Chains A and B, each alone.
Chain A
């Protein structure tokens, strides 16, 4: 009735659906979250952190991290959140998020 190739496909389909039923019943799947990717530690010192450490802060990418380092070299120590607002790419909204991950 079915060719060998068709039988293989049907077996594959049934395996997928059975695996799905197993996962659903036992709730095995844990979705990947942003926190997993970032692996952010609790607090990062904004004045002593390296480029790689700064990039670990959520919503701080390579460009913003470089700007923070340049700002530090130019203006010296960052002492408050208002100093960070002077950096291009960090607005009020982003500041609200990153403030939980930084210390001065």
Chain B
């Protein structure tokens, strides 16, 4: 639990640092230096509780200092003014009638470091490449929706756009992504190509708007997020494939971990896939070192690594929902000792999905209502019906990608994949048509805080009750 404590302390530090003034940051820096000096001189490490307290304060202060370069100027400060932006293109540009639209990560504005996502509307004729950095001069505008801010960068016809040199990693990711996207486009039906590119390669910009709307109404929009389900399936299939070539277990593990990180890079390095890849590598490390790995520890360390990579992810909806969902599943299965020991695979499978969905729903519905203004009641039924079909689709995508160099067989796999995607979308459409699949409900920030406080108290009470009575399902 130490790792969970320091992860939570780091999160609070990042949030505090984001909103704190510069004077408080200087104060924290001085406190940080004093703390380090005190800990070495007083030999804190000899007393366990003091050491945990030291780590907690240390990571809280580290969080404040880590986010400081980004918090000097917030994105709102650049809205409405012309500025120089250093952007990295994170989506495949869409050619429109008059403009080119794409998503980018802003890394610098003027002389200030920053990290936020923008939608870029470029009226320039200059060609824009995926995974390439550009120095551009444009104007930023903002749109507010519920508690989220969305930023749009406007580039005029004659805007200054300078391409910066790409590194070999970006060139490699670009080549792999385009090779796979063209492979999908060549053999799959239009809908299957767009759907598969979104759910397997993270190219959500290729998905039609009605697909996203359809999945949202069916309460399975989370399937667009590449995360643990993808990592688990792909690693399992990779393991099996390598076993056929009689590669040893340890070598298979190393190859699978390296492949997962390459996959995470190609899928856009979003918080959910980074979390899943790090947790998977921890599992692999556990096998290597022949030690039992705590899932809480691996989740917490994954969180700390994610925030070290980009501290502003703490404000990202995807990060919050991803970590909260996994945390709720771990806590839920631990608290209620849900047993999946039945002989029937089907019963275990349905039981697993049912309880996972219930725990996740309890954990995330305040955040979903806060950010999206809706609560989806259909989640449990939709997950039980649609996730098996989605899992089948992912397996077919893997087979289809594996047959990249055998076009003759790839066409047959493509036919089955196209039909499966068609059926999946039809099922999702039918589920979304059910009355009261969702209802409009918005919670305020204070209510969300109170809810989570009560939930935490409830979990502690259940945990204490569990010592007296065995809560098994």
Chain A positions within 8 Å of B, measured between CB atoms, are 5-6, 9, 13, 16-21, 23-24, 28-34, 36-38, 61, 93
Assembly CA distance A9 to B412 (angstroms): 17
A31 contact from B190, B214, B413, B429, Cβ within 8 A:
B190
Contact with A along B415-434 (1 / 0, CB 8 A): 11011011001100100000
A29 contact from B210, B415, B425, Cβ within 8 A:
B415
A23 near B210 with CB under 8 A, answer: no
B422 contact from A9, A13, A29, A61, Cβ within 8 A:
A29
A34 near B422 with CB under 8 A, answer: no
Contact with A along B227-257 (1 / 0, CB 8 A): 0000000000000100110000000000000
Assembly CA distance A61 to B213 (angstroms): 9
| B304 at the A interface (CB under 8 A) | no
Q: Which residue of A lies closest to B433 (CB)?
A: A39
Q: Which residue of B lies closest to A27 (CB)?
A: B415
| B49 at the A interface (CB under 8 A) | no
B409 near A17 with CB under 8 A, answer: yes
B415 contact from A23, A33, A93, Cβ within 8 A:
A23
Most buried by B among A6, A36, A93: A36
Assembly CA distance A66 to B209 (angstroms): 18
Assembly CA distance A59 to B415 (angstroms): 29
B210 near A38 with CB under 8 A, answer: yes
B412 contact from A5, A17, A31, A93, Cβ within 8 A:
A17
A16 contact from B190, B214, B244, B413, Cβ within 8 A:
B413
Inter-chain contacts of A38 with B (CB < 8 A): 210
Inter-chain contacts of A32 with B (CB < 8 A): 191, 421-422, 425-426
| B396 at the A interface (CB under 8 A) | yes
Q: Knowing A9-B240, A13-B399, A34-B208, say if A29 contacts B419 (CB, 8 Å).
A: yes
Assembly CA distance A65 to B317 (angstroms): 27
Inter-chain contacts of B97 with A (CB < 8 A): 93
Inter-chain contacts of A5 with B (CB < 8 A): 240
How far is the CB of A55 from the nearest CB of chain B, in Å? Answer: 10
Assembly CA distance A31 to B415 (angstroms): 10
A28 contact from B208, B411, B419, Cβ within 8 A:
B419
Assembly CA distance A61 to B399 (angstroms): 36
| B192 at the A interface (CB under 8 A) | yes
| B260 at the A interface (CB under 8 A) | no
B189 contact from A19, A28, A29, A34, Cβ within 8 A:
A29
Q: Which 10 A-B pairs have the closest CB atoms?
A: A20-B412, A31-B189, A23-B415, A20-B415, A20-B416, A17-B412, A29-B419, A32-B422, A24-B415, A21-B412
How far is the CB of B203 from the nearest CB of chain A, in Å? Answer: 19
Inter-chain contacts of A6 with B (CB < 8 A): 240, 243-244
Assembly CA distance A3 to B244 (angstroms): 10
B414 near A20 with CB under 8 A, answer: yes
A30 near B422 with CB under 8 A, answer: yes
Q: Knowing A32-B426, A93-B97, say if A23 contacts B411 (CB, 8 Å).
A: no
Assembly CA distance A61 to B189 (angstroms): 25
Besides A16-B412, A61-B209, 20 new A-B residue pairs in contact (Cβ under 8 A), listed by A number: A9-B240, A16-B413, A19-B412, A19-B416, A20-B414, A20-B415, A20-B416, A23-B412, A23-B415, A23-B419, A24-B411, A29-B415, A31-B190, A31-B191, A32-B191, A32-B425, A37-B210, A37-B214, A37-B425, A38-B210
Inter-chain contacts of A33 with B (CB < 8 A): 191
Assembly CA distance A21 to B416 (angstroms): 9
Contact with A along B312-353 (1 / 0, CB 8 A): 000000000000000000000000000000000000000000
Assembly CA distance A16 to B210 (angstroms): 29
How far is the CB of A20 from the nearest CB of chain B, in Å? Answer: 3
How far is the CB of A52 from the nearest CB of chain B, in Å? Answer: 11
A31 near B192 with CB under 8 A, answer: yes
Inter-chain contacts of B213 with A (CB < 8 A): 61
Inter-chain contacts of B210 with A (CB < 8 A): 34, 37-38
How far is the CB of B411 from the nearest CB of chain A, in Å? Answer: 6
How far is the CB of B180 from the nearest CB of chain A, in Å? Answer: 19
Q: Knowing A9-B240, A31-B189, say if A23 contacts B429 (CB, 8 Å).
A: no
